[in-house]
Amino acid sequence: MEKKTIRNKIVLAAIFFGPLIFYLFLLTGTNNFAKLPVLTHKVDEISNFNLEEQFTLNNNISIVCFLGDDLLQHKTNALNLNEKIYKHFYGFKDFQFVVVLPKGSEDKAEQLKNELGAITNVDKWYFIFGSKNEVNSLFESFKTTYKLDENLYTPYAFIIDREMNLRGRNNDKETEDGMLYGYNAESVATIHQEMVDDVKVVMAEYRLALKKNKREI
């Protein structure tokens, strides 16, 4: 009976302390689980865009992508992100997806949203529309080495934190300068092997910050 009691206590301790140890590991590890670097401070807000719903980048953890006028040709990007990122972090209170598009692509966006809606709850997927200058201006505020193509498309998805900073890697082994500003959403492997881990780190940072603030109140 005594052995059974001890075993039960060990199981309960593992359940209670396991998540805390995991998040501490995320923040103190020596690999990609270290605190995710800020690569660009204060990207532009999206207030210049014609928004059907009122929302903001500020005080949200946002995944931002630029799918361009021919977005239906790149819908696999959205499906990849939906499956590997959105579904796993949907329950986080301040988490959202933002798809930046040129004006005139509203019907295509609605078609894509309906397709996504057939497999998941899309109430945290936001599609915003702007002029060519507005889309380019927002993208340029990210200050990356990437370019939008003639249709205002890039395969990269970006992590923007609650302070509107662009987060990424500065020691990436696959890039010449080590800088990874965004994650190639055309590649399931990139999303699964890199982006998922990095979103986890940002989530862990804020969860620990919230716990710390509650203790200090």
* All structural domains of the chain with their residue ranges: 1-30, 36-216
Residue 97 pLDDT > 90? yes
pLDDT value for 207: 80
- Torsion, Cα 209 210 216 217, to 10 degrees, reads 150
- Give the model's pLDDT for residue 15: 54
| Number of other residues whose CB lies within 10 A of the CB of residue 131 | 14
Percent of the chain residues topping a pLDDT of 90: 69
141 vs 48: CA distance, rounded Å: 13
Tell whether the model's pLDDT for residue 92 goes beyond 80: yes
Superfamily the domain 36-216 falls into: Glutaredoxin (3.40.30.10)
Tell me the mean pLDDT in the region 11-15: 53
CA distances, 165 to each of 41, 162, 172 (Å) = 5, 7, 19
Instruction: Provide the H-helix boundaries in 51-195.
Output: 75-81, 87-89, 106-117, 132-140, 188-190
Largest CA distance in the chain: 73
DSSP state of 1: -
Q: What is the pTM of this model?
A: 0.82
Helix or strand or coil: residue 159? strand
- pLDDT tens profile 27-86: 444 334 468 999 999 999 997 786 766 789 999 999 999 999 999 999 999 999 999 999
